């Protein structure tokens, strides 16, 4: 069977693109990525500008409506987000039933169940999709944190009515308000994760939406796609890598060993970015600051040493991606490692919402082809005559 790069003449003729690499699926007005030059923009605004000057609420508005809000619009949007900090009682029962599963599986199940409680379920209008997106943006952090508490036998912490999105997320962990710096770092993390073009999970939400299935179905499928280690799961892998390395002096040998066994260095490489991932810079700065503040600089030193050991691979387009420093941010804040991928999902809801909406605006069934390489025209043999 021919799975590899040796493309037969026939495959060349049909231009087979495994993994849909380099294939444009549609047009978008939301996220621009120039992977060669490491550029990322949301609705025309550079990610560096947004990470430095915006916040998650404003960036979510930008993604969902395609423009920056004025003061009044942001106030109304922020109020809608805060008002949406409610979960149907029965969702807690569902979390209780599945609480021994991985947090991503719990999140997937809870989001899928939320559709049963949505009065707007049959409403596919733009306004309804935005309403659902806003609601889910506030509910996903509640699900993640309720599960975190309930699996430890603790009651979930009621969300704050006043705290900003990122602060409220951290507040629901142990009921303590984060410091201004920690809250800002979490906020930046959500901003840089808010959308990222046609990655595997966004593509999945588009495939589901392409069949005219509902919003919750699309997001549930997106969560499943995000959970894998090649996509959202890498941040968890990076902290495992850092722990395996143990101290900065070991990094070069450890990386050498991984690469000689043809293993992946988690948090490195990207399907689109062949130069530095612009999101990584903001989290790197955050880890540096936070590790000093916490008096735990060893993690930052280890990550820097791994990055140094990977330097020769930059020539091949392999650089640290957003997940490389994200794991250390979460670890230093005191978040357990199996919540790292759900945090990615917390930030990504606005991006998935707008991608679902864009797909719906000019909907088309997404149905590529598979090039058949098996044998053909065989004669059916009855079961008693088979070897």
Cα 173 to Cα 143, 145, 150, 294, 344: the distances in Å are: 11, 6, 11, 18, 16
Identify which of residues 106 and 234 has a Cβ nearer to ligand CMC in the complex. 234
Cα 347 to Cα 140, 186, 234, 304: the distances in Å are: 9, 10, 16, 25
User: Alpha-carbon distance 166 to 59, whole Å?
Assistant: 13
Least Å distance, CB 85 to ligand CMC, is 27
Least Å distance, CB 57 to ligand CMC, is 22
Identify which of residues 219 and 360 has a Cβ nearer to ligand CMC in the complex. 219
**Tokens 């004025």 label which residue?**
70
Contacts of 2 (CB under 8 A, 6+ apart): 8, 11, 373
Cβ(171)–Cβ(177) below 8 Å: yes
Q: Is-catalytic flag, 323?
A: yes
Contacts of 262 (CB under 8 A, 6+ apart): none
Least Å distance, CB 235 to ligand CMC, is 8
Least Å distance, CB 323 to ligand CMC, is 5
Q: Is-catalytic flag, 270?
A: yes
Task: Name the residue number minimizing CB distance to ligand CMC.
Answer: 269
Half-sphere exposure of 333 (CA within 13 A, CB side): 35
Identify which of residues 146 and 219 has a Cβ nearer to ligand CMC in the complex. 219
Identify which of residues 234 and 248 has a Cβ nearer to ligand CMC in the complex. 234
Contacts of 281 (CB under 8 A, 6+ apart): 48
Identify which of residues 78 and 277 has a Cβ nearer to ligand CMC in the complex. 277
Using CB under 6 A as the criterion, which residues of the chain lie in contact with ligand CMC when the complex forms? Answer: 196, 199, 230-232, 234, 264-271, 318, 321-323
Identify which of residues 178 and 237 has a Cβ nearer to ligand CMC in the complex. 237
Distance of CA 18 to the CA centre of its chain: 22
Identify which of residues 63 and 94 has a Cβ nearer to ligand CMC in the complex. 63
Catalytic residue among 270, 277, 282, 319: 270
Least Å distance, CB 272 to ligand CMC, is 8
Least Å distance, CB 134 to ligand CMC, is 24
Least Å distance, CB 209 to ligand CMC, is 20
Residues known to be catalytic: 270, 323
């Amino acid at each position: 069977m021919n799975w590899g790069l040796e493309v037969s003449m026939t495959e060349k003729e049909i231009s087979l693109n495994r993994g849909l690499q380099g294939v444009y699926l549609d047009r978008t007005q939301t996220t621009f990525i120039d992977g060669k030059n490491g550029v990322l923009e949301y609705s025309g605004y550079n990610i560096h500008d947004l990470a430095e000057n915006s916040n998650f609420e404003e960036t979510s508005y930008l993604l969902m409506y395609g423009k920056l809000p004025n003061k009044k619009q942001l106030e109304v949007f922020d109020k809608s987000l805060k008002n949406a900090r409610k979960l149907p009682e029965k969702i807690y029962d569902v979390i209780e039933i599945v609480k021994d599963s991985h947090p991503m599986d719990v999140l997937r199940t809870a989001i899928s169940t939320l559709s049963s409680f949505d009065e707007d379920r049959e409403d596919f209008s733009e306004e309804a999709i935005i309403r659902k997106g806003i609601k889910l943006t506030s509910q996903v952090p509640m699900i993640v944190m309720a599960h975190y508490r309930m699996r430890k036998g603790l009651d979930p912490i009621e969300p704050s009515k006043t705290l900003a999105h990122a602060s409220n997320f951290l507040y629901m962990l142990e009921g303590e308000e984060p410091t201004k710096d920690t809250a800002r770092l979490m906020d930046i993390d959500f901003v840089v994760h808010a959308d990222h073009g046609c990655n595997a999970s966004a593509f999945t939400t588009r495939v589901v939406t392409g069949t005219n299935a509902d919003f919750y179905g699309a997001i549930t499928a997106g969560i499943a796609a995000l959970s894998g280690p090649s996509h959202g799961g890498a941040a968890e892998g990076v902290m495992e890598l850092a722990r395996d390395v143990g101290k900065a002096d070991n990094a070069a040998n450890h990386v050498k060993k991984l690469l000689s066994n043809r293993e992946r260095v988690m948090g490195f490489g990207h399907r689109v970015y062949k130069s530095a991932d612009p999101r990584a810079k903001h989290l790197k700065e955050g880890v540096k600051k936070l590790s000093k503040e916490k008096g735990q600089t060893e993690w930052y030193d280890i990550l820097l040493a791994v990055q140094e050991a990977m330097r020769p691979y930059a020539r091949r387009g392999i650089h640290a991606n957003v997940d490389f420093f994200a794991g250390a941010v979460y670890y230093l804040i005191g978040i357990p490692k199996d919540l790292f991928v759900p945090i990615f999902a917390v930030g990504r809801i606005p991006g998935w919402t707008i991608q679902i909406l864009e797909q719906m605006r000019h909907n088309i069934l997404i149905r590529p082809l598979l090039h058949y390489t098996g044998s053909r025209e065989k004669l059916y043999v009855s079961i008693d005559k088979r070897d």
